Structure 1
Amino acid sequence: MTEEDSARLGLPLLAPGQAQKELWHNEALALLDIAVQAVVEEVGRDAPPGAPQPGQCWIVGAAPTGDWTGHAGAIAGWTASGWRFVAPRAGLRAWHPASGQEAVHDGAGWRRGDVRAARVLVDGQQVVGARGSAIAVPSGGATIDVESRACVEMILIAMRKHGLIGT
């Protein structure tokens, strides 16, 4: 990135009195077309595909080859003028339709399939919140119902397995 590029996406900026401004403007639009509401064919691919179509994008893998060399982790988009690359930044997101998952760059690499939230609401009602504290398996008592205790224990095991309560 230079002073002639935007701070976040590295888009080329126009300068006063610049000749052929349409070239810079079109380059910025091509990069925006790749970055904004990105959709990628594949995540972590190292070699460019053989016959890309304009508008198709990929998240470049850690060991890129060919035309992608030097662009590890970037979103590579094919345009009528060839490859364009959007460098990864923390918070950059891309939809991967084949998996039905979103890929998010966390500043160190791309993570796919993670959902991060403080709580989950369904129809305005909270159904999942922060992890609760551990719950002990029932023991002791004057009347012991083995089947009820086994059922409660299975419920607790399932809740722990799903991370809803501590262990």
Structure 2
Amino acid sequence: MKFTRSIVQTTFQSPLGKMIIAATDNGLAGLWFEGQRHLPPELAGPVLWPSDPAHPVLQKVIGQLQEYFAGQRTQFDVPLDLAYGTAFQQSVWQALLKIPQGGTASYGEVSQRIGKPAAVRAVGAAVGRNPVSVIVPCHRVMGANGALTGYAGGLERKAALLTLEGVLQGSAS
């Protein structure tokens, strides 16, 4: 996944740890937990993208994340710029956007939804490479038996997000 130089970023301190938010003029291009797997190389060492906390998309994302983590938002309404993924990855990410809060889907169900029933492993790889954590809800994808499997931000965060959304029992709601 290659990002353009026009991207800007800022950070947000969520209840689950520091997050890096990146946007282009077209919309939100990235939302990662600091140190998660598959972090773009531009963020893995010294940050190469300019900081612009006043960027309107970044400001909108921060406001909506604050509402989400406070239990006051169930859907996000920010423009997305998912152009940095392959066509297949983009189809998977679009399918993830259709999993409602409070719901989950298995990797097999996602592969069925995109019309590629034999591509379960490739779907898993695309889910893992989702550049917009939380807002493109890859945390809502479960193993075939309903088990918590794979999450680039860590299984503890996945469990916390699903607890916040009422999928798992716990005290985060």
- Which structure is richer in relative contact order (CA contacts within 8 A, separation 6 or more)? 2
TM-score by length of 1: 0.24
Q: Which has more helix, going by share of residues?
A: 2
